[in-house]
Structure 1
Amino acid sequence: MTTLADVMAAAERLWPIAGAESWDAPGLVSGDPRATVSRIVLAVDAVAETIDEAIDANAELLLVHHPLLLRSVTTVAETTAKGALIARLIRGGCALLAAHTNADSVATGTSARLAELVGLTDARPIVETAPGIGLGRVGRLPEPMTLGALARRLAGILPLTATGVRVAGSFDRVVTTVAVCGGAGDSLLNEPAVRAADVYVTADLRHHPASEAVETARVAGGPALIDVSHWASEWLWLEVAADELREALPGVEINVSELRTDPWDFVVVQ
């Protein structure tokens, strides 16, 4: 019999909470550690659709990448979105566990998975906190390719989203060194490893940081930018996490949600 406490212990071995950023809130969000767990569903986000999916599948745990209660919360009344979700989980007998930046930084984390699928060699963290551990990854393509070809490769790797792949840079620019950061990565734009790369692949690039990076590159050098869906860049990691949990928790059924939780539904191209 596997308990939620056993799953939490396995998660701690795989994604130590000590590796999380100071502002983060990974770990158990709701649920009784003494409860039995026979089925787990993995998703990037705890939203109504993934919670319903987990409960309908009779899963006792929904393990997500993004903590539901990351920002300040003063109520879980069901008149609020988060309160309604927590209540649905509790009534459905489904616990909620999050592995966020602690899962980003490990050697098999979100950015490492993206780097692997892009085909980078000798990938290392952009910001290293221990050997092989840290945020983002930077490495080299086996063969140089154009920025446009790399963008197309990413479009083929990532699950489909309305916003697709956006690029700042010349289509024909030849790139070899690639920095990647799954999820929102504009905080790493000024890191030396990013500045020295030919291209930086991340998500949620806002206007001002992206514009400043483009202008800085014109004056002092710097990477082209590729902006992808936050959800898509992290969803790729879920199957790795599932495989690691299957090995750590034999006998527990572990499934990856294929529901798209990217918030955008369609885009009108001008």
Structure 2
Amino acid sequence: MTTFTLADLRRETEAMWPADTAESWDRVGLVTGRNDAPLRRVLLAVDAVADTVAEAVAWEADALITHHPLLLRGIHTVAEDTGKGALLAALIRADCALIAAHTNADQPVGGVSDVIAKRLGLEDAVPLVPLAKDPSIGIGRVGTLPAPLSLRQFAELVAGVMPATVSGVRVAGDPDRAIESVALLGGAGDSLLDHPLVRAADVYLTSDLRHHPAQDALELAAAAGGPALVDVAHWASESLWLEGAAEELSARLPGVEFRVSQVRTDPWSFSVGARPGSELGAE
């Protein structure tokens, strides 16, 4: 049986998600670990948080691959009374490496947005923002449904595809509006609200839409045409690609066990008082 090391995992993750396809502000690749460490078990998760790190350590994983980089923004201490310091210390003590695949995993076939498009059954889906050196990959996707749906039906389709979260699926638009063309971006997407392909779509599916950008987009749509909006939890939209990633890595490194964490790292625990918008203020 072939014995693999962390160096082999780094090689394969780089082949699947090249670091040079990540956005310039991103921090991807190896965070902690040594190349000659043996590789037997690898856990995949959206986030490196206390629960996923504890899961990796309890399973005796040799590496944890997360979508969100633990050290995306600068820190000045890894003291163990800080959140990131405590996580890094736990991983290092357990000899568990940490690798981040973020915007470089958003871009390819089988990446974050591509998997959402496939789960929704979109046809002829192409990147919203193609990569210059390879236009077949890139950020986001835009495509068409096999048959038109009402906005409400589309939202129900999305709810059936995404894992359940406290915030569910939020929708802005006429529930009876016909939906054929769909633009989407896994993760936070209000930066693309003005993108021509988003503006031309019937609906834009993304996460973390803030009040003012969403409101401005809806007012513009009312005046000059534009998409309805569907907002899902950030964690939910970026969780679906992990199963395929684990399967691909398992094929590339036979004998290494890959597992997707079942921990929901969406930060919200519960909600109260939610009512449909049409009922707000009703007696």
TM range (shorter): over 0.9
Q: How far does residue 27 in structure 1 lie from its aligned partner after superposition?
A: 0.5
3-state SS, counterpart of residue 175 of structure 1: strand
Partner of 1:221 in structure 2? 225
Q: Distance between the aligned counterparts of 2:192 and 2:31, measured in 1?
A: 28
Q: Distance between the aligned counterparts of 1:185 and 1:249, measured in 2?
A: 34
Partner of 2:69 in structure 1? 67
The one-character-per-residue Cα deviations of 1:113-166 (angstroms, maximum 9, x if unpaired) are: 000001100000001112211100000000000000010111111111000000
Find out whether 1:211 has 2:215 as its counterpart: yes
The one-character-per-residue Cα deviations of 1:230-258 (angstroms, maximum 9, x if unpaired) are: 00011101001111101111110000011
What is the aligned counterpart of 1:57 among 40, 54, 59?
A: 59
Moved more, 126-135 or 40-49: 126-135
Partner of 1:121 in structure 2? 123
Letter aligned with residue 244 of structure 1: E
3-state SS, counterpart of residue 82 of structure 1: helix
Q: Distance between the aligned counterparts of 1:220 and 1:252, measured in 2?
A: 54
Q: Distance between the aligned counterparts of 1:67 and 1:160, measured in 2?
A: 24
Letter aligned with residue 100 of structure 1: H
Partner of 1:88 in structure 2? 90
Superposed CA RMSD in Å reads 0.7
Q: Distance between the aligned counterparts of 1:20 and 1:164, measured in 2?
A: 29
3-state SS, counterpart of residue 4 of structure 2: coil
Equivalent residue runs for 1:30-49 within 5 Å: 30-49=32-51
Equivalent residue runs for 1:94-109 within 5 Å: 94-109=96-111
Letter aligned with residue 172 of structure 1: D
Partner of 2:243 in structure 1? 239
Partner of 2:194 in structure 1? 190
Q: Mark the structure with the bigger radius of gyration.
A: 2
Q: Distance between the aligned counterparts of 1:149 and 1:265, measured in 2?
A: 27
For these two proteins, the number of residue pairs brought into alignment is 270
Partner of 1:148 in structure 2? 152
The one-character-per-residue Cα deviations of 1:1-48 (angstroms, maximum 9, x if unpaired) are: 111111000000000011100110010011111111100000000000
Q: Distance between the aligned counterparts of 2:191 and 2:109, measured in 1?
A: 20
What is the aligned counterpart of 2:204 among 188, 193, 200?
A: 200
Q: Distance between the aligned counterparts of 1:251 and 1:112, measured in 2?
A: 27
| Identity within the alignment, % | 58
Partner of 1:249 in structure 2? 253
Partner of 2:27 in structure 1? 25
Q: Distance between the aligned counterparts of 1:259 and 1:209, measured in 2?
A: 31
Partner of 2:279 in structure 1? none
3-state SS, counterpart of residue 70 of structure 2: coil
Q: How far does residue 62 in structure 1 lie from its aligned partner after superposition?
A: 0.5
Q: Distance between the aligned counterparts of 1:193 and 1:17, measured in 2?
A: 26
- Which TM-score applies when normalising by structure 1? 0.99
Unaligned stretches of 5+ residues in structure 1 = none
Q: Distance between the aligned counterparts of 2:262 and 2:94, measured in 1?
A: 21
Q: Distance between the aligned counterparts of 2:202 and 2:153, measured in 1?
A: 14
Q: Distance between the aligned counterparts of 1:98 and 1:33, measured in 2?
A: 15
Partner of 2:10 in structure 1? 8
